[in-house]
Amino acid sequence: MPTFDTTLISRIQQANDIVDVIGEHLSLKRKGREMVGLCPFHEDHRPSFNVNPTKQIFKCFACGAGGDVVKFIQMREGLSFPQALHRLADRAGIKIDTRPQTTDHRHQTQEEADPNEIARANAWAAKYFAANLAHPEKGKDARKYVAERQLSDESVKNWQIGLALGADNDLLNAARQKKIPDKLLLAAGLVVGAGSSLSDKFVNRLMFTIADVTGRIIAFGGRTLSGDPSSPKGSAVAGVAKYINSPTTALFDKSNALFGLDHARHQMVSSDTGVVVEGYTDCIMAHQFGVSNVVATLGTSFTAGHARILRRYAKKVVLLFDSDTAGLEAANRALGVALSSRIDIGIASVPQGKDPCDFLLAQGKEPFAKLIEDAIDVFEFKWTRLNANLGSQPTIAGKKQAVDEYLDAIATAINAGNLSPIEKGLIVNNLARVMSLDAKEIHNELNRRASRVRTASSYSGEADEAHAPLDLGEGLSANAQREIIEVLLAHPSMFDDVKDKISPANFDIPALQQIAQAVFQTLGEQPRAALSVMCSAVEDTRIAGLMTTLEHDGAEKGNFSKRLADALVALEHTEQQRDKTASTKGDSVLDASKENRRNMGMI
């Protein structure tokens, strides 16, 4: 594991204000001197995630996650400590001269690839694709298609739209000229194949750049230009997929990524509403018309991952789908996910068989905004769908299937807490009336189904060892060690009272010993260092979370001098007792050994 100079770490911390960084990932609102929001590290339904701008730390009082800005990036993006530092250094424009050389690209697999290196490869590729599109000759036909789709030059620039040429291995050859390793291109999903058989992933495609919420490029989507390039709909050659995305990488999973989130998040927060469409151009055109709270799924159905992301920025999500049968079925599938994700959701559809892009070009911003405003409630959508299915299904089996679908949706909503008792009562009464059944029977059936959903949910996720509580020991010695750590974290100036009396070796609880080592090292070099600085001295995110808990507890208790003095006395006493006990045991063992030898001599 590479080591980093504490001055460099401090510089990176100071250049990345924790409120700004966390604000790029979730919605924060001021509450007194702190900022609060929904915790991204557990299923949080009431804001329990606190960010302290003064201390430059975050703390969730529900799941215990906490630490400095580096720990947040570690946890949020699944990075190691060095990777998180590089990530934040890049964000702040700080160059780290000596990069860790722990990975040999020649033997690097996709799973082992450094996400920061993949991001850099993607950034290079985005510029390369953009240059291709702008090229007077190479990009001529593609620019014609873009113009016919009425995407403005400003949109092309802002969304980093580019072109993958049709020439064999165009990107691969260009990357080799830039000394970019083949294995890194493979890990980034820019090329496919193995060994000497590598080839470009994207060929003759209009390229859409996919970024995370911070604007870091994580993947690409490519729309084929094979076929009739002059057609706005662009009929594709048989056997050639119209759209393809980057494969899953260390940076990208399409089930947990949304196109346009980096452009839309601020408007989502201010409007409390996020809008989800299906296509790249649908999303871009909405922003081009000034409707800037729109994102798009990436060739996949709406997932629980998408719901979790959107819930961080918006209180309500509107799913905007085509009004054809496929669009309605997609909307219905998405609602099942939304109902289980504790998210307020509405459904809107584009009339006359148009997609959102075509509708905007034909009707303009106001009618489009009206579509979103008039989105129907999820339960109204489900109820309308049930009645339509009951009317169209000629068989008992078909009608039962329609009712089962509806009951399962309501049971999912009940289990997720998305349905109030009054709403449940109204639904039960309406269903009883339609089906000519007793309301009590409907009520019991819903409860049975909700119980099954609850049981299934309990099996769907096993306890993660990473979230298990750390062992802080028991007894007088363990309590004394904890007290000392609490005081030093909350009141670093008291380090002078302990530095000549004890050392980390006096702490025998593993978690507390790790913290003691960080505290003694940091305060030894930087007297009265802030908690965020002490957190940066540990790489384990769980230990950092524990540090924020202990600091909070220590500050709440106050009375630092007396607590520290009492804890030092208690620790000294328990160590003396331990030494005395060990000595006594040693004497007993020695006496027993001598007695055994005497007895052996008598045999």
Name 150's Cβ contacts closer than 8 Å, sequence gap at least 6: 285, 361
232, two tokens: 């706005």
pLDDT at 34: 94
Q: What is the mean pLDDT of residues 102-130?
A: 73
Lowest mean pLDDT among 146-150, 237-241, 383-387, 558-562: 237-241
| Residue 245, pLDDT score | 94
Under the banding of pLDDT at 50, 70 and 90, the label for residue 583 is: low
Q: Say if residue 164's pLDDT is above 90.
A: yes
- Does the structure show a pLDDT above 90 at 523? yes
CATH code 3.40.1360.10 region(s) in the chain:
258-374
List the one residue out of 109, 241, 123 whose CA is nearest residue 186: 109
Give the sheet arrangement for strand 49-52, strand by strand: 29-31, 34-37, 49-52, 57-60, 66-67
pLDDT interval class at 589 (50, 70, 90): very low
CATH number for region 258-374: 3.40.1360.10
**Mean pLDDT, rounded, for 401-425:** 80
* Res. 585: pLDDT tops 60: no
Query: What whole-number distance in Å separates Cα of residue 64 and Cα of residue 87?
Result: 24
Residue 530 has pLDDT above 70, yes or no: yes
CATH: 3.20.10.10, 3.90.980.10, 1.10.10.60, 3.40.50.720. Which one for 113-252? 3.90.980.10
Both tokens assigned to 46 = 């009431």
Q: How does strand 294-296 pair with strand 273-277?
A: parallel
pLDDT band at 456 (very low <50, low <70, confident <90, very high): low
Residue 332: phi and psi, rounded to 5, are: -65, -40
In the chain, where does the domain assigned CATH 1.10.860 lie? Answer: 475-579
Contact predicate 220/245, CB 8 Å: yes
Does 578 or 551 have the greater pLDDT score?
A: 551
Tell me whether strands 344-350 and 34-37 are parallel, antiparallel or unpaired. Answer: unpaired
pLDDT band at 213 (very low <50, low <70, confident <90, very high): confident
Q: Is the pLDDT higher at 394 or at 454?
A: 394
The correct CATH number of 475-579 out of 2.60.40, 1.10.3470, 1.20.120, 1.10.860 is 1.10.860
Confidence of residue 102 (pLDDT cuts 50, 70, 90): very low
| CA-wise closest residue to 393 among 376, 381, 405, 409 | 405
Residue span(s) of the chain under CATH 3.90.980.10 come to 113-252
User: pLDDT band at 109, cuts 50/70/90?
Assistant: very low
Instruction: Tell me the pLDDT band of 487, cut-offs 50, 70 and 90.
Output: very high
- Angle, in degrees to the nearest 10, between helices 115-134 and 170-177: 120
- Which pLDDT score is estimated for 111? 46
Is the pLDDT at 17 greater than 50, yes or no? yes
pLDDT tens, residue by residue, 304-342: 888 888 888 888 999 998 766 666 677 777 777 777 766
The tens digit of pLDDT for each residue in 334-389 reads 777 777 766 788 889 888 768 899 999 999 999 999 999 999 888 888 888 888 88
CATH of 6-98, one of 3.40.50.2000, 3.20.20.140, 3.90.580.10, 2.40.40.20: 3.90.580.10
In the predicted structure, residue 543 carries a pLDDT above the cut 80:
yes
